[in-house]
Chain A
Amino acid sequence: MTLLTRRTLVASSALLLPGCDALIENPRARAIAKAAEQATLRGQRLLGQDALAREFSASEISPLFKANGTINPEEPAYQAHAATAFKNWRVKVSGLVKNPLSLSLTDLQNLPARSQITRHDCVEGWSAIGGWSGPPLALLLKAAAVSEAARYAVFLCADTYHSTTRYYESIDLIDAWHPQTILALRLNNAPLDIAHGAPVRLRVERQLGYKHAKYIEEIILTDTLAPYGQGKGGYWEDRGYEWYAGI
């Protein structure tokens, strides 16, 4: 009895493990699993579409804020900007807008800023608390006059991160207009450093870290994600991660 069971167990685990991998890697099975993402998105939007992310006090700020992903873009164009303190850096807003914009760092600095001390949750599992400051994305959307047809804001970045195409991200317009969604220019009362996305990075506080694109050069309003990267809405999304990273 015991022998039979043990033999069955060993045999079944030898069969089971590669079988499990094959099953969960099967594209059709994975498509079924990814249906959960839509359920999560709809569920969380139902519970609090306009809810604000938790904000912290200055005493709770992490002594060191971990930097992840690209921490120093190697691209010569970016390095040239870094060498001149980003004085020629521009952020373009285009696509489905009535007034395309091209803003310098000074333009962005002159807009009213929002400051928020929030928790950054990495998809890997760690959390760091930092104080971010910069103009709300909503101000740019208003100035650009987003057209009715737009559904997403796509962010194109200056880094390529082990890839041949630039890092990019996208959010829907609910998150784009959210008051805590800002283009951060400062971290903990100092200009953003290169490791954390200088000169400008996105903060989209109700989602995981990979949504918070660094080194932003272009913001495109669009009704489809298909033309960007491999069409899944972001660098990590193209590699299987959820587009909605609220969990």
Chain B
Amino acid sequence: MASKLVHRHSLIVRLSHWLSVIAVALLIGTGLNIFNAHPALYWGHKGTNIDTGARWLQIGAMRAPDGTLTGQTIIGTASFNTTGILGLSKTASAAPQMIAFPSWATLPSRRNLGLARNWHFFAAWLLVGTGTLYLTYGLLSGHLRRLIPTAKDLAPKNIAHDIKDHLRLHFPKGEAALSYQVLQKIAYAGVALILLPLMVLSGLGMSPGMDASWPVIVDAFGGRQSARSVHFIACTLILAFIAVHMLMLLAAGPFRLLRGMITGWQKVTT
């Protein structure tokens, strides 16, 4: 089968992709460490471990009468045994640790709220800078127009067709591979234009300084603790995107696609 190299991604898109990878990896790792300092979520403005009226999520360890420890995740009124992952988990060297997110998932791996916060805000500024660069370029160059699904893309028949293609791991070849399919568009536009901006806004919604200057952000979320909850939920969705993105990359040809996102040039069959 013949193939040729096609210039697939512009420099700005590649640069902002990899800077976002660094920023988001730092933000998730340090964010989980920060969450571990108070592993509970609430709706509204307020909530503590002695003011639990608005609490909807809690991760912790529970000791049974016989002394055995289990990791528990409580969502609303439902309680789940999450021993090994959430609430109680093993560390490389020590005995099981009572911690919400396990040490292998957090940055740094041990509890250190101060260090995690230093890097969280550094990465947040990196993400905001990268996002500004990407969105400005995307608007001026027409890149964003190609990313946002059209009415034709969103026709139920087209979406059903694309879902079927994805489930059969049947990826477009040749020229068709050079434009995004509808599920790709929804995923990429959803992350770049909705979830990441939502992470920044909900993060700012937790800032007491921002609440004084721009109270509209906290108002939009319905309270500081609501902003914290949205921050957590949007992060979970971003993690889901990353998982699917990695699976699709592996299924569709990791070396070909990585080469495209690093050098800009991607091999397509003709």
Instruction: Give the B-binding residues of A (Cβ under 8 A).
Output: 2, 5, 13, 17-18, 20-21, 24-25, 30, 32-37, 39-40, 44, 47-48, 51-54, 56, 60, 62-64, 66, 119, 121-129, 205-208, 236, 239-242, 246-247
Query: Is A128's CB under 8 angstroms from B115's CB?
Result: no
Instruction: Give the A-binding residues of B (Cβ under 8 A).
Output: 29, 34-35, 37-38, 40, 45-51, 53, 104, 107-110, 112-115, 117-119, 121-122, 124-125, 204, 206-215, 218, 224-225, 228, 250, 254
B254 CB → nearest A CB, Å: 8
Nearest neighbor of B219 in chain A, beta-carbon distance: A54
Query: Is A36's CB under 8 angstroms from B37's CB?
Result: no
The contact of A127 among B110, B115, B225, by CB within 8 Å, is B225
- Determine which residue in B38, B207, B210, B212 has the highest number of CB atoms from chain A within 10 A of its CB, and name it: B212
Which residues of chain B are near A66, meaning CB under 8 Å?
48-51
Query: Could you pull out 11 A-B pairs where Cβ atoms are within 8 angstroms?
Result: A25-B115, A33-B118, A37-B121, A44-B207, A44-B209, A48-B212, A54-B218, A124-B37, A126-B48, A206-B208, A246-B207
Please, how many angstroms separate the alpha-carbon atoms of A246 and B208 in the complex? 6
Please, how many angstroms separate the alpha-carbon atoms of A98 and B211 in the complex? 36
B219 CB → nearest A CB, Å: 9
Which residues of chain A are near B215, meaning CB under 8 Å?
54
- Determine which residue in A2, A13, A25, A124 has the highest number of CB atoms from chain B within 10 A of its CB, and name it: A124
Please, how many angstroms separate the alpha-carbon atoms of A164 and B211 in the complex? 36
A69 CB → nearest B CB, Å: 13
Which residues of chain A are near B214, meaning CB under 8 Å?
47-48
Query: Is A121's CB under 8 angstroms from B224's CB?
Result: yes
Which residues of chain A are near B228, meaning CB under 8 Å?
125
Please, how many angstroms separate the alpha-carbon atoms of A245 and B124 in the complex? 15
Which residues of chain B are near A48, meaning CB under 8 Å?
212-214
Please, how many angstroms separate the alpha-carbon atoms of A236 and B125 in the complex? 23
Task: Please judge, given known A-B contacts A36-B125, A48-B213, whether A124 and B113 are in contact too, CB under 8 Å.
Answer: yes
